Amino acid sequence: GEDVEQSLFLSVREGDSSVINCTYTDSSSTYLYWYKQEPGAGLQLLTYIFSNMDMKQDQRLTVLLNKKDKHLSLRIADTQTGDSAIYFCAEPFDNYGQNFVFGPGTRLSVLP
Amino acid sequence: SQTIHQWPATLVQPVGSPLSLECTVEGTSNPNLYWYRQAAGRGLQLLFYSVGIGQISSEVPQNLSASRPQDRQFILSSKKLLLSDSGFYLCAWRRWGAGGMSGELFFGEGSRLTVL
């Protein structure tokens, strides 16, 4: 079946860069997504990348996509305490692109 | 603009009691609707999705059910709750037929259910 994998925890110091990694399985996915979840809240879309792109940059966020290895990463530059949250990568899955598969989430802790 | 509302935000229920969580989307028509569950410290599990009124697809067999009585309303129910039903329930919507668009999911704020 479809499976999206992420490391579960990441700790960084404030001001450093954070890199959150994800591997996915469905090579036909048109888009891949990163979501952020703050404590007790729903998921908020951070960014997405179209599958024909290798990189997308949006302010402090950089998404890198390696389709050959089915590897997706999210880099957060100048990480702030407000970036502490759980980050999920997700890909659409099923014949009609109706469903989504989420990774287990990476809990990012930003230390002062 | 589109909005999504879930209620109640927090619920504490005894084992064996019924459940009804409601979700409403505004500002769009004919959305795809989803119910996810997030157990403590774990990822998201898709429970149900719907592509139209009265059309429900179940991803995981369990004692929960879903209904879509109106285009923008999605309800998660149970007749008798189990301890294992505790979790954080998230409703989400997606533009129907999002081919060619980024097609992301938009999530509600979640409903935390504790079964005692």
pLDDT in tens, A22-80: 999 877 777 899 999 998 899 999 999 988 889 999 999 999 999 999 999 999 999 99
Confidence at residue B47, expressed as pLDDT on a 0 to 100 scale = 92
* Four-residue CA torsion sign, A28, B101, A41, A11: positive
* pLDDT band at residue A17 under the 50/70/90 scheme: very high
The two tokens of residue A42 are 């729903």
Confidence at residue B100, expressed as pLDDT on a 0 to 100 scale = 53
Contacting residues of B for A92, CB less than 8 Å apart: 103
Q: Any chain B CB within 8 A of the CB of A41?
A: yes
Confidence at residue A2, expressed as pLDDT on a 0 to 100 scale = 61
Residues 21-40 of B with CB under 8 A from A: 32, 34, 36
Burial B72-84 (b: 16+ CB within 10 A, else e): bebbbebeebeee
**Identity of the residue in A100, A103, A105 whose CB atom sits nearest the CB atom of B105:** A100
CA–CA distance, B53 with B31 (Å, rounded to integer): 10
Chain-chain contact of A98 with B51 (C-beta, under 8 angstroms): yes
Confidence at residue A31, expressed as pLDDT on a 0 to 100 scale = 86
pLDDT tens digits for chain B (116 residues)?
A: 889 999 999 999 999 999 999 999 999 888 999 999 997 767 888 899 998 999 998 887 689 999 999 999 999 999 999 999 999 999 999 876 655 566 789 999 999 999 99
DSSP characters over A3-66:
--EE-SEEEEETTS-EEEEEE---TT-SEEEEEEE-TTS-EEEEEEEETT-SEEEETTEEEEEE
